[in-house]
Amino acid sequence: MRNLWLFLVRYNAFFWFILFFVLSIFLVVRNNNFQRTSFVNSSNVVIGSFYEKVNSWKGYLALSSTNEELASENAKLRQQLENYIGKDTLDSVHLVDAIDIGRYEFIVAAVVNNSIHQKSNFLTLNKGSNDGVALGMGVITSNGVVGSVLNVSAHFSTVKSLLHPDTKISVTLDSTADAFGSLVWGNNTDPRYAMIRDIPNHIKVHTGQPVFTSGYSTLFPKGIKVGHIIESGITSGESFKDIRILLTTKFSNLSHVYIVKDRLAVEKIELEAANEDNG
């Protein structure tokens, strides 16, 4: 203990220098927008590279389950293709809104870091601005919704997970029903479940009923399955009720995701902003 004290006394100038140096950097980054942005982007690159290497072996261990998911997704895509070209009768015609044809582009990304047990959860992906990723894009899997892009560097991006108290997603109770609400994780601590808020009390729901994205925002295309109802009729007010759902996205073993690029997003946002200006 005496030797440690003598060591600290002997080199106290060096330790004071380190302390004040770190403090000065903290103050500069905190109080200057340019330095703060540069620091965040640099941190994303360094931390992202580290996570990418750490998770490479995890991805190898998860190859079996990943292959099963890819095989399942391929089967679904083949079935959808059959629905388009396999039948040639009037009863089989599938109508598609022309505005949605070619509207969305999907960027495949690997998950290099993922938290699911925090109060506010995030993901890190190995795709960034060099790959066309931008702030605010939606992120999905073949099974459901993941979240939205929060920060972007040249080669990496961070995602605000669905398992985050500030995340709200517009959903409908099925692909055709006229019942919409906001999907939130809320104060939940289990990554398998979420809540739908603001469903009118007069809407009849049942256990097992599927839940889909509504397509009202530019984050996600319409009709992506989010989960299914496991508990309904939770009263949140005189006119509305809450619904508990089991999520289809398995956050505990995410390996690859799709970043959604809406080619009409800017046009839609600017038009809606003009309505607010005129109001």
What is the set of domains in the chain, with CATH numbers?
Answer: 2-54 (no CATH), 105-263 (2.40.10.340)
- Distance from C-alpha of 30 to C-alpha of 162, rounded to nearest angstrom: 28
DSSP state of 177: -
The three-state secondary structure class of 185 is coil
The reported pLDDT for the residue numbered 203 is 83
Residue 277 clears pLDDT 70, i.e. is over it: no
- Please measure the distance between the N-terminal and C-terminal CA atoms of the chain and give it in whole angstroms: 72
Q: Which of 161, 126, 157 is nearest to 144 (CA)?
A: 161
The reported pLDDT for the residue numbered 245 is 93
Mean pLDDT over 169-193 rounds to 81
Model pLDDT for residues 121-155, shown as the tens digit of each residue: 999 999 999 999 999 999 998 889 999 999 999 99
The reported pLDDT for the residue numbered 213 is 92
Q: What is the pTM assigned to this prediction?
A: 0.67
Of 97 and 179, the one with more pLDDT? 179
How many DSSP H helices and E strands does the chain contain?
5, 12
Retrieve residue 217's tokens: 């925002």
Let me know if 250 is exposed, middle or buried by CB neighbors in 10 A (0-12, 13-18, 19+). middle
Q: Is 64 left (phi over 0), alpha (psi -120 to 50) or beta?
A: alpha
The three-state secondary structure class of 189 is coil
Contacts of 133 (CB under 8 A, 6+ apart): 107, 109, 125, 127, 149, 152, 157, 259
- Distance from C-alpha of 144 to C-alpha of 73, rounded to nearest angstrom: 12
- Distance from C-alpha of 149 to C-alpha of 160, rounded to nearest angstrom: 6
For the chain, what percent of residues have pLDDT higher than 90?
A: 30
